[in-house]
Structure 1
Amino acid sequence: MDPNKIFAISALINGLTALAFFIVVLFGLKKSFANRIFALFTFFIWFWSLGYYFWLNSSSYEEANFWIVILNLGSIFIPITYYHWIATILQKNRKVIIKIGYTLTFIVSFFSSSKFFYTGLSPIAGFHFWPVAGVLYPYYVAILYGGYFFLGLFDIIDSFFKEKGAKKKMIRFILVAYLISLISGASNFPLWFGIKILPYGNFIVFVHVFLFSYAMMKYNLMNMKTMSIQVAISFIAVVTFVEMLISNTIQDFLMRVFLLIIMIFFFSLIIKTSKETNKQKEKLEKLTTELKQTNRKLIVLDNAKNEFVSIAAHQLRTPPTVIKGYVSMALEEGKNKLDNKTKDYLKRALISNERLIELVEDILDISRIESGKIQYNFKDNQDCSEIVDELYKLFEIRAREKGLKLILKKSKTPLLKIKMDSKRIREVISNLIDNAIKYTQKGEVIIETKNIDEKKIRIEVSDTGAGIPKKDMSNLFKKFSRGTSTKRLGVNGTGLGIYVGKKMVKIHHGKIWAESEGINKGSKFVIELPVKWKE
């Protein structure tokens, strides 16, 4: 078979592939510097392939000579643009080497049609018009082609051993593609020097373009989905254009023109859509990065705040404790002869001091919880009913003094023993009972315990008090949150107890929630704790 026809077909495939990628990268992808260099590289491959195809299909010496000049121009610019792209994606600082390369390339390109580059065309190995190397051609092969290809190979191997993870895998793809291109390009040289070795490497030139593009898409240098669609459409459009040029009839020509116009229209729509999608994606990625950075800063600030609160709370702890001791001593009967008015003042001071101590303890608990420094003493087979019984006896007197009835409804079967920190769960239940008594002016407070499907226990504290408005429900368990009922009833508090309680229950892998039908219709707080769980 005629080698001119075989290798012309390979040049056509290479050219169509390169042109499709050139169109997509130049017009369809974001205008990054690396993409522009890649577009320039694929353009010169197309230019070389164009010259190659028409050169091998030439019927005269003059025609072949014209297309050889086109081929030479394309081939001369391939090595430097190739190396420039490799250095860019590998982030190598090779500005001086690249400038020298472009300078030499432009100088050599001026001689691409002269006898210094090739002395003429002659038949060899079945080819009708193959160029014969001139005195400048060996220097082009050694310096521009060989020199810059091997510089690129060095940079790729160097980066391969230095990088890790996904980038290392990407560089592996690039290395394989680079070696294919080195071999395929070099296979054209022997015949220039009269060595009868056919340029079989031309059959795989398009492969390395695909490999490069795949590596760039797979490792996010290009959008895989977008580019795949665009390359396919571009390739079909280019083939249609070629078929249009070689149409035998006017009818066939017009049909190809119509198809090409439709393809260009749809291609422009896809490019527009993909650009908008990519912009949105980039914007989202930018926002995500900014949010991560902001979040890291907030974590640092939050940790600093917790540390400050912890230190401050510890310092505030000592004075109230001392005040409590002295006031308690002053109120002791038999030791101090105080009139009733003074005693009343001291009792009020003691009550306020107790509130301050509670506030400091709550702040300390929050600080420890949020900084992860709180110490727990989890034990298996703990009896929650003992805690409830103890708290019932403790709060019964206080409820009676307020004219309320405190009722304890025990589980019909013995309450399941659970894994818990008894001290922490006691604090949570105590706070709920205390709140129920605070916010109930008349009626009753009910404490109820029950087992749930042998895997959980439930403690419910319900009352006939102020109730919870629906608008307060969503903020109930937030830090420093206090409902409108507190202002209406004039009840003092910090809004920290329930927040701390929720944190404690969550650490026990349990749940806590509130139920209420509204203002003055009472409320119910429910704690649900699992029997067993893993720390």
Structure 2
Amino acid sequence: MIELNLDLISVGITAAGIGILGFTIFFNNTRSITNTTFLAFSLITIVWSIANYLQYQPSTPATGLWTVRIITFFGVWHALVFFTLCYVFPDAQAKLPKIFFYALVPIASVTALLTLTPLVFSRVTQLSPEGVVVGIENGPAIALFGILSIALIVAGIGTLLRKAYVKSGHERHQIALMGLGTFITFVCIVSFNLVLPAAFNNPRFLPLSAVFIFPFVACTAYAIVRYKLFDVKVLATEILSFFLSVATLLQVLFAGSAIELLFRLSIFVLVLMFSILMVRSVIKEVRQRELIEKQEKELEDINRQQESLLHFISHEVKGYLTKSEAAFAAIFAGDYGEVQPKLHDMSGMALADVRKGVDTVIDILDASNLRRGTVSFKRDTFDLVAAIEEIVRDLQAEAKARGLELTFEKPVTGAYMYIGDEDKLRRHVIRNLVDNSVKYTLKGFVRVQLARTPNLMRITISDSGVGITPEDMKHLFTEGGKGAESIKVNVHSTGYGLFIAKTIVEGHGGKIWAESEGKDKGARFIVELPILSA
């Protein structure tokens, strides 16, 4: 029993490995004709190997005869699929010739059916003392089986050699790997299944033909995935599945009865099926991840192209607007002489609109540059109090025109010298936040406060304006983000201002956020900037 089980373990482990490899390669690309043919070859190899093992186990003459017939039946298909694999390998898409379907397949089918009749094997002539078939009478069609099988195998090897000669690069390396597996398998079969039994009368390894075919299967599988960067996660799952199957199969070694042996083999088959499904699931997950990564890369490329186009268009528009600004400014200032009052007023309004357009284009360009990481920050030392005072003073006229009280609660004591990019902090952060509060406050006040701790400066802009709803709060500080309520008040908002402010503040290592109790309840914008050493 121990010897029988050891042989069975060897065949079972090999069959498990071939099965897992076959399904792994197939699930790796189910549309590949090479992968599909490889799976077919793996499955036929498993069935043929099991039948070959059973041939050398004790049996009756009738059982032994049918076992031999089944071996030859699958042997025909084994040879045919081997030739097919050599023909299509390593292409994912390959068209088989018409002669394959209209001549070769019909001949193989007839030959395979004949192997199940007395025309190939008539009867068992001799059993060994252990009940193993050692003599069998051949039928008249045995020659057809032999010629067809040998011809298919030789044609397959010849096809591989031809491809190795005409192919180049990684395809030649793949064919070389497959050829290496073929050579190892051929040497093993000749040595253990021909030389040992014939020359040394040692048939010990005849039941282990599956073990000798494994090098070909393994090398071919490796050749298929070698140049496709086979995922480590899939490989790890495949190894785990193999060891699970082997661990289950080892239990067969300790089977004490035929029923127990059958039960444990059934468990092994279930574990093997589960392992194959697990490998399939992991491959599917990996493919989905690869698809997502590919789509993300494509999206990044598209975004990069859009940014480049936006940058180009914005620069062009900025150039035209700048020229228009200069022309309207000259007319408004009287550089071309005195003009009619209507023309003077029109040029003033046009100048204001053009300047708004220039500011919008600059905002878009700045946002694009900040997102691309092409903006550097200066380290200037400047007075933060003086900067805020100047900005508040510049916006006082607009605030008064709206009937608003704009104040700056200047700190009484303390030094407020800050090291950072003065221009960007002034223009894109402080001025932008105060200007927004003025624009979004219909009545009441806008208050600017400045405070400091040992580690940071804190700027707070509070207003009694339209407030921020929870829904609009989600869109603040996002590129192009505009709230549903805020856009009703400022229809010219680009949605880039707060995004630029946030990027600049974070570029200084700081934080910026907004607080509001809801619609029509005002808002507070807080900026915290860390105090940097000189």
> Does the pair score TM above 0.5?
yes
**Contact between 1:464 and 1:520, CA under 8 Å: does it hold in 2?**
yes
Give, in angstroms, the shift of residue 78 of structure 1: 3.1
Q: Provide the rounded CA distance (Å) in 2 between the counterparts of 1:65 and 1:261.
A: 26
1:14 aligns with 2:11: yes
Q: Find the counterpart in structure 1 of residue 187 from structure 2.
A: 183
Q: Are the equivalent residues in 2 in contact too, given 1:445–1:464 (CA < 8 A)?
A: yes
**Residue 461 (1) aligns with residue 434 (2):** no
| Higher RCO (Cα < 8 Å, 6 or more apart) | 2
Q: CA deviation at 1:213?
A: 10
Superposition pairs for residues 28-427 of structure 1, below 5 Å?
33-34=33-34, 36-57=36-57, 67-82=67-82, 84-85=84-85, 90-91=90-91, 93=94, 95=96, 99=100, 129=134, 144-145=152-153, 148-149=156-157, 152=160, 162=170, 180-188=184-192, 190-191=194-195, 194-196=198-200, 198=202, 200=205, 202=209, 204-205=211-212, 208=215, 211=218, 219=230, 225=237, 247=258, 252=259, 293=298, 296-297=301-302, 299-301=304-306, 303-329=308-334, 342=341, 346-347=344-345, 350-351=348-349, 353-370=351-368, 376=375, 378-383=377-382, 385=384, 386-396=386-396, 399=399, 404-410=405-411, 412-415=413-416, 417-420=418-421, 422-427=422-427
**Matched residue SS, 2:351:** helix
Give, in angstroms, the shift of residue 304 of structure 1.
3.1
Q: Where in structure 2 are there 5+ consecutive unaligned residues?
A: none
TM-aligned CA deviation for residue 295 of structure 1: 6.0
Whether the 8 Å CA contact 1:513–1:527 is kept in 2: the answer is yes
For residues 203-254 of structure 1, the C-alpha deviation after alignment (integer angstroms, 9 at most, x for no partner) is: 83375488479858993697974896699679969999xx89x84xxxx59x
Alpha-carbon separation, structure 2, partners of 1:149 and 1:222: 30
Question: After alignment, is 142-151 or 496-505 more displaced?
Answer: 142-151
Residue pair 1:12, 1:53 contacting (<8 A) in 2 also: no
Q: Is the 8 A contact 2:26 2:39 kept in 1?
A: no
- 1:339-358 alpha-carbon deviations (Å, 9 max, x no partner): xxx48x84575255324312
Q: Find the counterpart in structure 2 of residue 475 from structure 1.
A: 475
Report deviation, 1:160.
10
Closer/same/farther in 2, CA of residues 439 and 70 from structure 1, 3 Å limit: closer
d(CA) in 2 for partners of 1:492, 1:51: 81
Query: Structure 1 residue 447: deviation in Å?
Result: 2.7
CA 1:172–1:260: 2 relative to 1, 3 Å = same
SS of aligned partner of 2:334: helix
Distance in structure 2 (CA, Å) of the matches to 1:228 and 1:374: 44
Answer with 228-237 or 442-451: which moved more.
228-237
Higher mean alpha-carbon deviation, 98-107 vs 431-440, is at 98-107
Deviation digits for residues 339-379 of structure 1, max 9, x if unmatched? xxx48x84575255324312322223313532668974532
CA distance in 1: counterparts of 2:499 and 2:85, whole angstroms: 58
- SS at the partner of 1:517? coil
The alpha-carbon deviation at position 288 of structure 1 amounts to 6.6
Q: Does the 8 Å contact 2:86/2:159 carry over to 1?
A: no
Q: CA contact under 8 A between 2:318 and 2:361: conserved in structure 1?
A: yes
Cα 1:349–1:460 shift into 2, 3 Å = farther
Q: Is the 8 A contact 1:465 1:521 kept in 2?
A: yes
Aligned counterpart, 2:498: 498
Q: How many residues align?
A: 505
Q: What amino acid sits opposite 1:205 in the alignment? A: F
Partners of 1:43 and 1:483 in 2: CA distance = 63
Whether the 8 Å CA contact 2:516–2:522 is kept in 1: the answer is yes
8 Å CA contact retained: 2:11, 2:53: no
Aligned sequence identity (%) = 17
What is the CA-CA distance between 1:320 and the residue it aligns to?
3.1
The CA deviation at 1:426 is 1.5
Deviation at 1:469, TM superposition (A): 3.7
Superposed CA RMSD in Å reads 5.9
The verdict on how the C-alpha distance between 1:279 and 1:491 changes in structure 2, with shifts beyond 3 A counting, is: closer
Name 1:526's counterpart in structure 2: 526
Deviation of the 1:80 alpha carbon: 4.4
Instruction: Name the CA distance, whole Å, in 1 between partners of 2:63 and 2:37.
Output: 31
Cα distance, 1:411–1:142 mapped onto 2, change above 3 Å: farther
Task: Kindly state the Cα deviation for residue 427 of structure 1 after the two structures are TM-superposed.
Answer: 0.8
Residue type at the aligned position of 1:410: P
Structure 1 residue 141: deviation in Å? 8.5
**Equivalent position of 1:448 in the other structure:** 449
Is the alpha carbon distance of 1:95 and 1:214 closer, same or farther for their aligned partners in structure 2, counting shifts above 3 Å? closer
Q: How far is the alpha carbon of 1:162 from its aligned partner? A: 1.6
Distance 2:230 2:126 in 1: 46
Q: CA 1:193–1:413 in 2, change beyond 3 Å: closer, same or farther?
A: same
Q: Structure 1: how far apart are the matches of 2:311 and 2:44? A: 62
Q: Retained in 2: the 8 A contact 1:40–1:81?
A: yes
- 1:379 aligned counterpart, secondary structure: coil
Structure 2 residue identity aligned to 1:219: F
In the alignment, structure 1 segments of 5+ residues that lack a partner are: none
Shift in CA distance, 234/83, structure 1 to aligned 2, threshold 3 Å: farther
Aligned to 1:205, what secondary structure does the other structure show?
A: helix
User: Cα offset for 1:326?
Assistant: 0.8
Question: How far does the alpha carbon of each residue in 1:2-35 deviate from its partner, in whole angstroms, 9 at most, with x for none?
Answer: 9xx9699637742685389669968998665555
Provide the rounded CA distance (Å) in 1 between the counterparts of 2:275 and 2:197. 47
Taking the aligned partners of 1:367 and 1:427, their CA distance within structure 2 comes to 14
> d(CA) in 2 for partners of 1:498 and 1:131?
90
